[in-house]
Structure 1
Amino acid sequence: MKQGFLILETGERFEGKLIGNVPDICGEVVFNTSMTGYQEIITDPSYAGQIVVFSYPLIGNYGINKEYNESPKPHVKGMVTGELCAEPNHFTATGSFINMLEKYNLPCLTEVDTRKLVKTIRKKGTVKGVISHDKTAHIPDWETENLFHQVTAKKIFTHANDGPHIILLDFGYKKSILHYLLHAKCKVTIVPYHYPLEEIHALKPDGVIISNGPGDPVTASDQLLKIRNITESYPTLGICLGHQLIALAYGAKTKKLLFGHRGGNHPVKDLETEKVFMTAQNHGYVVEDSTVDEAAFAISFKNVNDGTIEGLRHRNRPIMTVQFHPEAHPGPQDTEYIFDQFMHLLNQYSGVISYALQ
């Protein structure tokens, strides 16, 4: 390992040891508060374009296992850790975290004061940064990317099953969402986010899930008319980015949080039952309260810490959304009942929803 640096656009510089002989990499610097689940985090497509700072001090201690991947490969631009374990000890481990970094040529800056770094991000907000061997490296200018192209499915794929047919509209879905649907005996067809509306109708689904994904939801503005039509035609569940896109399709607006919600310990309140659940989250944007049409949508969940919207439910149509991740992985599985509620919607509206183009 050689000396390396994380340089923030706000001028702060953090020194550490750099694993990987890679060119300078730039990205949005964010932090995750999960104590476990580092493998799921770096393979979550929602982290595309980002440098992830792990606030938990020790990463890699239980190694890696390909079964934990949330997608076929990592999507993060780079990582920052306080300490990285080179010799893991766990009975399911098939390799070390360092092996995974080397396999995918991923840079990791370790031996960093991540406590100080996280406090800086909390104060300054999510900022751009560069990981480099050069302490004088500069952060290049770059425009907001359409990251969905990088993470979406390249072709349509169907998992056969005996239950209801679900279209998974893929903006960067996590494998655990698919696992829940298959466990519920659903037939699942994964389609790219840009799949034409007419072809979605031709598949005759019983319901649609709009997945999580990376970046600013406004980047997908060209998909909002299609999403509005989908929600008017089928029972629909939006997860994380999917929640934001459904809200945008109905006229709401989104805004960027100062430093986002990322981790497995975020409390949300179900406003119907008044129960509080611990949730897994990974998002930098939220739906603005004042822009939601409350004649059409009821706010179903709120974040206990900052009061931001964590879920919506349409008053007349079978549409439900959650900002958190009910599939978890990593994180608590308190809210997996969201999938049961969606299955209930499918049963309730089966044969009632018109499949005709609007």
Structure 2
Amino acid sequence: MMEGIINLSNGVSYTGHWHGEKTECSGEMIFYTGMGNLLEFISDPAVKGKIVLATYPNILNCYIDQEKLESDDIQIAGLVIQQEYGEFSVSMKKWLTVFKEKCIPVMTGMDTRSIIKQLLKVGEVPITMKANVGDLISSAKQVKELSTSTYKTINSNGKTHVVLIDFFVKNSLIKWLIKSDYKITIVPAEVTAEKVKALKPDGIVFSGGTGNPSSYKNCYPEYREIAKEYPTMAFGLGHQILAEAFGAHVEKMKWGHRNFKHPIIHVESKEVYMSNQNHCYSVLEEGLEATGFIVSYQSIQDKSIEGLSHKIYPITTYQFHPDGKNPKLEKIIICAFSNQVKQAKGVNIYA
């Protein structure tokens, strides 16, 4: 069994069992505390290029279901887990085969408790992860770009037409919109307001994605014009981008929210929901009033902003993601957007 080593940016190192080619990779290490939903998590565009520390000891003892992929491929750069080599199940062996085929290194037998304590001190930091051998024979997987550069229409017979601005959209968001009978036109992140208007949509959706929202700063004037013109909802990275486009401040969190059951509270009703989250940037409440946005949802754990609504324009944004697994919360979201679309068309809405 080959030995592998990871080096944190603060100089702390850990060794374990290396699985895969004799490679080396680097990336930001994040931790995932979920007991399931692994395939959804590691194929989520939000974890593109990350090295994932999974805290649940038997995380690979699960089936591989291609229907659960959130993108066309697994997006992580590496995986670190506690499971030992001698404990391999049939499903774990299949997982390791898949990772090897995709040139994604895996380290087992790791002291995940100790590593996560380090991450809680220093935050989600860049690390290196490599096989502890003399000569490395290849480079680890290079993750391809995920966003679209073309226009694509899905569910063309849907009764309501939305333009989906693609910042690396998740498959579950598309499925969720189709389930609500939306015709979806997916457009590139660099789309202009003029091109959106030419599509004559009923509403706009800003997708989630990966990276720093400020990377799209050059497009903010276009996004503001689009959002002011049409009923708009945004998720994940799209929520951060739209908030920042209107003047809000966004900062990188020490460690992100990465779970399928993150508790949030609706500020007005005080109702609590479990939400699907995978992000490391957060919209700040400081200076928010000047943007016209008010807080609609907050995290119960750290009081960070989980949702916004605009006082003037029909804009609602959410830090969490709809995935078809939280019917009550997702019905509230889709009904609010549907009512905004109807009102924009001049339809009277009655309580």
Instruction: Give CA-to-partner distance per residue, 1:207-240, whole Å, 9 cap, x none.
Output: 1111111111111111211111110111111101
Number of equivalenced pairs:
335
Instruction: Give CA-to-partner distance per residue, 1:157-214, whole Å, 9 cap, x none.
Output: 1011231111111101110000011011110111121133322211111111111111
Q: 2:200 aligns with which of 199, 204, 224?
A: 204
Distance 1:50 1:182 in 2: 30
Match of 2:123 in 1: 125
Match of 2:335 in 1: 340
Change (3 A) 1:59 1:268: same
Amino acid at match of 1:125: G
Match of 2:140 in 1: none
Distance 1:166 1:22 in 2: 46
SS in 1 for 2:224: helix
Contact 1:33–1:265 under 8 Å retained in 2: no
Question: Cα distance, 1:340 vs. partner?
Answer: 2.8
Instruction: Give CA-to-partner distance per residue, 1:113-139, whole Å, 9 cap, x none.
Output: 1121112111111110011013899xx
Match of 1:313 in 2: 309
Q: 2:106 aligns with which of 105, 108, 120?
A: 108
Match of 1:218 in 2: 214
Match of 1:82 in 2: 82
Contact 2:22–2:131 under 8 Å retained in 1: no
Instruction: Give CA-to-partner distance per residue, 1:74-108, whole Å, 9 cap, x none.
Output: 1111111112754129xxxxx93223212311111
Distance 1:116 1:109 in 2: 15
> Within the alignment, does 1:187 sit opposite 2:187 as a pair?
no
Q: 2:292 aligns with which of 285, 296, 300?
A: 296
Amino acid at match of 1:61: N
Match of 1:152 in 2: 147
Distance 2:234 2:315 in 1: 8
Change (3 A) 1:221 1:135: farther
Contact 2:7–2:127 under 8 Å retained in 1: yes
Distance 1:193 1:325 in 2: 19
Distance 1:62 1:260 in 2: 25
Q: TM-score, normalised by structure 2?
A: 0.90
Distance 1:16 1:334 in 2: 43
SS in 2 for 1:117: helix
SS in 2 for 1:151: coil
Q: 1:277 aligns with which of 266, 273, 276?
A: 273
Distance 1:277 1:136 in 2: 51
Q: List gaps (5 residues or longer) in structure 1.
A: 90-94, 138-146, 353-358
Contact 2:207–2:235 under 8 Å retained in 1: yes
Contact 1:212–1:240 under 8 Å retained in 2: yes
Distance 2:167 2:214 in 1: 13
Distance 2:288 2:125 in 1: 28
SS in 2 for 1:345: helix
Change (3 A) 1:154 1:98: farther
Question: Cα distance, 1:334 vs. partner?
Answer: 5.3
SS in 2 for 1:258: strand
Contact 2:2–2:132 under 8 Å retained in 1: no
Match of 1:26 in 2: 26
SS in 2 for 1:59: coil
SS in 2 for 1:312: strand
Q: TM-score, normalised by structure 1?
A: 0.88
Question: Cα distance, 1:350 vs. partner?
Answer: 2.3
Contact 2:234–2:242 under 8 Å retained in 1: yes
Change (3 A) 1:14 1:328: farther
Amino acid at match of 2:6: L
What is the alpha-carbon root mean square deviation over aligned residues? 2.2
Contact 2:20–2:100 under 8 Å retained in 1: yes
SS in 2 for 1:268: strand
Change (3 A) 1:87 1:322: same
Match of 1:143 in 2: none
Distance 2:152 2:291 in 1: 37
Change (3 A) 1:22 1:151: farther
Distance 1:97 1:197 in 2: 44
SS in 2 for 1:290: coil
Amino acid at match of 1:210: F
Amino acid at match of 2:11: G
Amino acid at match of 1:119: K
Q: List gaps (5 residues or longer) in structure 2.
A: 136-142
SS in 2 for 1:201: helix
Q: Percent identity?
A: 33
